[in-house]
Amino acid sequence: MSSETVAVTLRVNGETTTQMVAPRTHLADLLRGRLGLTGTHLGCEHGVCGACTVFIDGATARACLVLAVQSDGAVVETVEGLTDAADPTLRALQEAFVARNALQCGFCTPGMLATAVELLRETPAPSRAAIRERISGNYCRCTGYHAIVDAIETAALRLAGHEPR
Amino acid sequence: MPHPPAHAAIDRPNSYIGRSVPRPNARRLVEGRGHFTDDLPTTPRTLHVAFLRSPYPHARIAGLDLAAARALPGVALVATGADIAAVCTPWVGVLTHFAGLKSAPQYPLAIDRAVWLGEPIIAVAATTRAIAEDAIDLIGIDYEELPAVTDIDAALAPGAPVIHPHLGDNLAFRLRLDSGDVDAAFAAAHTVVEDDFHFNRHTPVTLETRSILADYDPATQRLTVCQSTQTPYQMQEVYARHFAIPAANVRVIAGDVGGSFGMKLHVYGDEMATVALSIMLRRPVKFVADRLESFVSDIHARAHRVRARMALAADGSITAMAVDDTTGIGPYSAYPRTSAVEGNQAVRLMGGPYRHRAYRGSLQVVFQNKAMMSQYRAVGHPIACAVTEALVDRAAAALGLDAIDIRRRNLLTDDAYPYTSPTGYVFERLSHHQCLDLLERSCDYAALRRDQQAARQRGVCRGIGIAAFIEITSPGPAFYGVGGAPITAQDGCVMQLDPSGAVRVQVSVTEQGQGTEAIMAQIAASAFGVALDRVRVVTGDTETTPYGGATWASRGAAIGGETVLLTGHALRQQCLALAAAILQTQPQTLDIVDGRVVDAADGQERISVAELARIAYFRPDTLPPGIQPQLVAARNHVPRDQPFAFTNGIQASHVEVDTETGFVRLLGHWVVEDCGRIINPLLVDEQIRGGVVQGIGAALFEECLYSPEGQILNATLADYLVPMAGEIPDIHVAHVETPTLLTQLGAKGAGEAGTAGAAAAVLNAVNDALRPLGAQLSELPLTPQRILAALGRV
Amino acid sequence: MPALPGRDIAGDGNGVKAAALRYERASSLADALALLQRHGASATLIAGGQSLVPALNLRMAAPELLIDISRLDALRGVQVMTEGGSPRLRIGAMTRHAELGRSPEIARHAPLLHLAVGHVAHAAIRNRGTFGGSLAHADPASELPACALALGSRMHVVGHAGARVIDAGDFFIGLHQTALQPGEILVAVEVDVLADGFRPGFAELARRQGDYALVGLAAHARPIPGQMRFAAIAPVFFSVGARPLLAAAAARVLTDATIADADRLHLAQQALAADLDPPADPQASSAMRLHLARVLLGRVVAQLVGTPDVI
């Protein structure tokens, strides 16, 4: 039974791929194991830590909480793809994260960035409280979050055409 | 002493020391190009391991049926504890300098008997992790439950089951400290404050779980281990010892490490079993701990019950302190650093910031049938700080003193150094009063007190908590090596001038996100004299970097940094000698600044470093006769002048307590700390903030909940509450800089400071808020249930 | 309340990779019903998967077959229905939490759902999780089942034998138990549009943003202007029992004209002892949950009558 696989076709970072997967395989394992997109990290595999956050059909999702077969036909974007596509929101966030040292070990960072990209697409000038609320599903053990909030705030200002303080 | 003045070596033109430059590896990580152990490409031959773990805190393995698991397609090997023990010798977590410390031999997997819930019993290696888990489900195993020792106070009770009968009892270690006339001080005291403090277990919860990929090559008898570890050199020695492989044949590679905090330097049975499986199967074998097993197999931390008393004179001077600490470490002392250090440091740090000379500390370290407990960030510090600072606040309340005033009255004065504490710690130079003064200004203490009064008028319950602390950093050889551990206190650096004029730095300190590589690059660039982007730092691979202590106990900047500084100076001297030969002058008339060899007198460029390198590598035929260019420098450095580089600091927490619900809202947090010379303020501040939030976790959220029978109740990331962004306030960090005079760099450590004092500050703030209501807490974490109970509401 | 109920950490097969299973994507509701009928108890429906997939990964659930109904667009969306009865909202079972949160119809006609849905986990979960999935999963700590009960929702259910409507009050039976019979699918939920004078009240106490609450309260009520009394109120508590619980005794006190306004809230809070007998867990004792329920009742009543917090 475990060897039964099914074909899944999805568009990942602009490229269409067809993969034979066991139905029990979650999307994060497909991205990491088959496609080598290891920027999507696994921190808990029960949907709590947020490290595997990616975009599915334009909205963030936990890649560990979506079976690969469920994403047949979907458009998936990971940190690698958004980087290569020079997504302006991601770019601004990456610049701010690096400048502000809003990452230490970097394990949470791709998921944190995905969450922040969605926030800034929806809300151009979020308050610090709104930023904290939005990233409250992404666990970071290293930074204490303050620098991440700073960096998202800075990126928002820059995207709005303001020079941050 | 033969030491140069602290500032001379680093006050050079274009120095990067003290500048907030971004980390070179951050760009890679924000683009998702990390190389964490689970990200590494594997061959199709690689096997994946899953473990059957004990569901009981203490049980005999009465029967085992492995046939179905072994028959499952895709399963390569199902190994028992005895199978693994055939290739891996057991270890005992003791060190000779902890006199009397005892522990039992520990095997990678349980043999016959499991002694904690989560102890690995059976390993399955299969073609995928999923199949390995399928096989685990097919294992038939019968347990005979044995009586479990769970509560730390019960461990030594008469008639308690003895976990390792041949050890006689469950007492792993005992320590007594006595200094000054404690009894007389208490007898003469104007005021005595005392309490029982309970610190419940928590656990580091690195976001990247423990991960290891072992590959044994029987043809050459070489073992290569890619591992998420802080200490590749220590692990090289451990694998050599326990698998009987020459150390020179063992290569350990730590790529990107997704957080460590002291958790990823202990020896874990499941990781040892993974290496054993690679040796047995002659193929690569990988184990990535899942989150659930991490909660029961990573080391836990803290777990103390402390009875503490403090004596004071009428003027608020502390005259004595006495503590009795019992700490539970699980069924074994961890290897190779032992589980005695946490308690040892807790009882030696008690009262550390203050002037009293009378101190009595007693420590009992006990075995119990719970997950193993050992070093985690700020080992022992938060316990000592919370106990001391809670008592100071209680004394202040009893004497009608302000929290700042009583500390100002008692803190070691800034001219008291060098100072030897009643527990034997030697402080070279600390800055408690400068830090206190700066904290008072940075949090606007007077305004917080006014706000507190105004809030009380509105019926809102707010509090301010202060916590002063000392911090142990940068241990010397007396810490582990002296006790027989294969752990070096020295670091090594090899620095090469490349043909392009760039500098390659291979150094033994490792990176887990602190910014080690950035800091080493800053020091190398400054010491040698090139732009930062001309420096490349290589860390984390025993094959390509010099042997050293790596990164733990806040030693990277101080010891590794000094090593790099000395190496950079050496390479500069070598290059200046070469340049002088080419330029027909004396080396001392020249300097290297920003990639150029210049006249030391006027800064005029004589030759670029790149040109110097080009000549040295490709046209040595043009050099004067007899010149052999020396383009590689190497240095080692070990602290010889003090056992630790002590630092200090102070924190303030501002909280609001909802007295109806017991919920605590953090309104603000301030830290002032002194880590000596600051290499990169940006990185230091984030070390502090990250540490504070781990302390806030201990204060409010984190607790490994066990039933009285020893069942763990919250071993998922949904049920174990780590601090998330929504509950954490902005954290304001300021610094006092008191460089150590014992090194040229002057740096001390900073990694423990945030965690050392944060929980104490929050505890004091909550108690400050509740004091008018007559409620007081002395158990962490401060859960709504405990707060409501203290308020008498439930 | 454990976020992953029913977990036995040390018991059967811990892990992070789901046990082997088969997967079918339903092409239509009829297809889904046929698949369910064919495979019986060995099959489990999957919608957004935000509760089921963690259970699969941790091997707390191991169905032989998953039938994916998340792509059934006929089961998705929010509509205002006027024909054949009083005006009402029809919410497709596969409507995602994020869509509920963004829907102007929900904000206008069922503001309680609008208030509550922002408390459901985190944005990435709300982007996938579905309204119907949440109701059918019937987690006693979930916000949406409590809201559905407070609003007097009607669950539209289809089985191979035909369609039926189940009142929310009959729908939630116990821990992860609903009145859905084997082979039935929840297809839509209908709620009356907000009637004149009715208001939503919602509050929960969660240790961290997005966590399951220690205690929560969703209320649908019609306050009487200028009084502490309600013409009608449905206070539904969650995380205090095996299912969302309507606090009927407290509601009677809050509507009883014979009780003085000055005593009303206190008496209603006392009456909760008759409504609730909360279970204990490691985070909160039974007494603490009852205490917190009383606090929340005070806060939600204050929201509803538009006065500052009273207790």
SS3 state at B652: strand
Residue A75: domain span: 6-82
In a domain, C311, yes or no: no
Q: Please determine, for residue B405, whether its predicted confidence score (pLDDT) is greater than 70.
A: yes
In a domain, B163, yes or no: no
Q: Are B727 and C209 an interchain contact pair (Cβ–Cβ within 8 Å)?
A: yes
DSSP class per residue in B424-493: S-EES---HHHHHHHHHHHTTHHHHHHHHHHHHHTT-EEEEEEEEEEEEES--TTTTGGGT-S--S-EEE
Round to whole Å and give the CA distance between B634 and B118: 45
Of C68, C98, C128, the last residue of a domain is: C68
A67 → closest Cβ in C23, C124, C209:
C23
The pLDDT-based confidence of C10 (bands split at 50, 70, 90) is: very low
Q: Are A104 and B754 an interchain contact pair (Cβ–Cβ within 8 Å)?
A: no
pLDDT greater at residue C1 or residue B147:
B147
The pLDDT-based confidence of C306 (bands split at 50, 70, 90) is: confident
If one counts the domains in chain A, the total is 2
Give contacts of A107 with chain B, Cβ < 8 Å: 34, 36, 207-208, 256, 258-259
pLDDT at C84: 81
Alpha carbon dihedral A75, A78, A81, A82, in 10-degree steps, equals: 100
A45 and A91 share one domain: no
Both tokens of B583, joined, read 């330029």
C121 and C153 share one domain: yes
Residue pairs between chains A and B whose CB atoms are closer than 8 Å: 184
Pick the range with the lowest mean pLDDT from A84-98, B701-715, C6-20: C6-20
Q: What is the mean pLDDT of chain C?
A: 93
Compare all CA atoms of chain A with the CA of C18 and give the residue at the minimum distance: A24
Contact call for residues B305 and B326 (beta carbons, < 8 A): yes
A105 and A78 share one domain: no
> For residue C13, which of B277, B132, B288 has the smallest C-alpha distance?
B132
Contact call for residues B574 and B630 (beta carbons, < 8 A): yes
B287 and B416 share one domain: no
In a domain, B14, yes or no: no
Of A60, A82, A104, the last residue of a domain is: A82
B257 and B118 share one domain: yes
pLDDT at B3: 42
**Residue percentage of chain B with pLDDT more than 70:** 99
Both tokens of B101, joined, read 């410390």
In a domain, A39, yes or no: yes
In a domain, B13, yes or no: no
Round to whole Å and give the CA distance between A137 and A44: 12
In a domain, B225, yes or no: yes
A96 and A74 share one domain: no
If one counts the domains in chain B, the total is 3
Of A63, A82, A101, the last residue of a domain is: A82
pLDDT at C310: 39
B693 touches chain A (CB under 8 A): yes
Cα atoms found within 13 Å of the Cα of residue B349, Cβ hemisphere only: 29
Q: Are B50 and C15 an interchain contact pair (Cβ–Cβ within 8 Å)?
A: yes
pLDDT at C83: 87
A106 and A65 share one domain: no
Q: End-to-end distance of chain B based on CA atoms, in angstroms? A: 63
B49 and B30 share one domain: no
Q: Please determine, for residue C311, whether its predicted confidence score (pLDDT) is greater than 50.
A: no
Residue in the structure block whose two tokens are 């921190």: A43
- Say how many C-beta atoms besides its own lie within 10 A of residue B236's C-beta: 23
pLDDT tens digits along C20-38: 999 999 999 999 999 999 9
Contact call for residues B171 and A13 (beta carbons, < 8 A): no
Contact call for residues B719 and B713 (beta carbons, < 8 A): yes
pLDDT tens digits along B317-350: 999 999 999 999 999 999 999 999 999 999 999 9
Q: What is the mean pLDDT of chain A?
A: 96
Residues 119-138 of B with CB under 8 A from A: 130-131, 134
pLDDT at A164: 66
pLDDT tens digits along B541-558: 999 999 999 999 999 999
pLDDT tens digits along B726-780: 999 999 999 999 999 999 999 999 999 999 999 999 999 999 999 999 999 999 9
Q: Are B290 and A80 an interchain contact pair (Cβ–Cβ within 8 Å)?
A: no
B96 and B220 share one domain: yes
Q: What is the mean pLDDT of chain B?
A: 96
Contact call for residues C205 and C281 (beta carbons, < 8 A): no
A76 and A39 share one domain: yes
Among left, alpha and beta (phi > 0; psi -120 to 50; other), residue B274 is: alpha
Q: Are C207 and B291 an interchain contact pair (Cβ–Cβ within 8 Å)?
A: no
pLDDT greater at residue A163 or residue A32:
A32
In a domain, C78, yes or no: yes
Q: Please determine, for residue B93, whether its predicted confidence score (pLDDT) is greater than 60.
A: yes
C63 and C77 share one domain: no
pLDDT at C307: 52
Compare all CA atoms of chain A with the CA of B207 and give the residue at the minimum distance: A43
β-pairing, A6-12 with A75-77?
Answer: parallel
Contact call for residues B485 and B407 (beta carbons, < 8 A): no
Q: Please determine, for residue C6, whether its predicted confidence score (pLDDT) is greater than 60.
A: no
A64 and A22 share one domain: yes
Instruction: Read off the pLDDT of each residue in B143-154 and give the average, rounded to a whole number.
Output: 95
Among left, alpha and beta (phi > 0; psi -120 to 50; other), residue B535 is: beta
The pLDDT-based confidence of C178 (bands split at 50, 70, 90) is: very high
Alpha carbon dihedral C222, C223, C229, C234, in 10-degree steps, equals: 40
B716 touches chain C (CB under 8 A): yes
> For residue B705, which of B727, B724, B723, B721 has the smallest C-alpha distance?
B721
B620 and B494 share one domain: yes
β-pairing, B304-312 with B191-199?
Answer: antiparallel
pLDDT at B7: 43
Q: Please determine, for residue B356, whether its predicted confidence score (pLDDT) is greater than 80.
A: yes
If one counts the domains in chain C, the total is 3
Residue B717: domain span: 381-477+643-790
> Given 3-state DSSP classes, what are the helix, strand and coil percentages for chain A, each rounded to the nearest 5?
45, 15, 40
In a domain, C276, yes or no: yes
Q: Are C22 and A4 an interchain contact pair (Cβ–Cβ within 8 Å)?
A: yes
Of C192, C216, C245, the last residue of a domain is: C192
pLDDT tens digits along B215-237: 999 999 999 999 999 999 999 99
Residues 41-60 of B with CB under 8 A from A: 41
B597 and B661 share one domain: no
In a domain, C198, yes or no: no
pLDDT tens digits along B2-45: 444 444 456 777 799 999 999 989 999 999 999 999 999 999 99
Give contacts of B293 with chain C, Cβ < 8 Å: 14
Round to whole Å and give the CA distance between B691 and B466: 16
DSSP assignment letter at B262: T
B neighbour chains, 3+ CB pairs within 8 Å:
A, C
SS (H, E, C) C259-309: CCHHHHHHHHHHHHHHHCCCCCECCECHHHHHHHHHHHHHHHHHHHHCCCC
Q: Which amino acid, B778?
A: S
pLDDT tens digits along A60-107: 999 999 999 999 999 999 999 999 999 999 999 999 999 999 999 999
Instruction: Read off the pLDDT of each residue in C271-275 and give the average, rounded to a whole number.
Output: 98
ipTM here: 0.97
In a domain, C281, yes or no: yes
Contact call for residues C20 and A24 (beta carbons, < 8 A): yes
The pLDDT-based confidence of A154 (bands split at 50, 70, 90) is: very high
Instruction: Read off the pLDDT of each residue in B46-71 and give the average, rounded to a whole number.
Output: 98
The pLDDT-based confidence of C139 (bands split at 50, 70, 90) is: very high
Both tokens of C106, joined, read 């929900």
Distances (CA, A) of C59 to B131, B135, B736, C21, C308: 13, 13, 52, 11, 47
B463 and B504 share one domain: no
Both tokens of C174, joined, read 């116990």
Instruction: Read off the pLDDT of each residue in C146-168 and give the average, rounded to a whole number.
Output: 97
The pLDDT-based confidence of B609 (bands split at 50, 70, 90) is: very high
Contact call for residues C165 and C158 (beta carbons, < 8 A): no
pLDDT at C14: 53
Residue A100's CATH number? 1.10.150.120
Residue C112: domain span: 73-192
Helix or strand holding residue C163 (H, E): strand C162-167
Give contacts of B695 with chain A, Cβ < 8 Å: none
In a domain, A141, yes or no: yes
Of C137, C170, C192, the last residue of a domain is: C192
Residue C288's CATH number? 3.30.390.50
Pick the range with the lowest mean pLDDT from B169-173, C118-122, C281-285: C281-285
Compare all CA atoms of chain A with the CA of C121 and give the residue at the minimum distance: A137
In a domain, C235, yes or no: yes
- Say how many C-beta atoms besides its own lie within 10 A of residue C225's C-beta: 8
Q: Please determine, for residue B463, whether its predicted confidence score (pLDDT) is greater than 80.
A: yes
Of A28, A53, A82, the last residue of a domain is: A82
In a domain, A26, yes or no: yes
C17 touches chain B (CB under 8 A): yes
C27 and C129 share one domain: no
C25 touches chain B (CB under 8 A): no
Cβ-proximal residues to B489 (8 Å cutoff; 6+ apart), any chain: B475, B476, B477, B479, B480, B481, B549, B555, B559, B638, B639
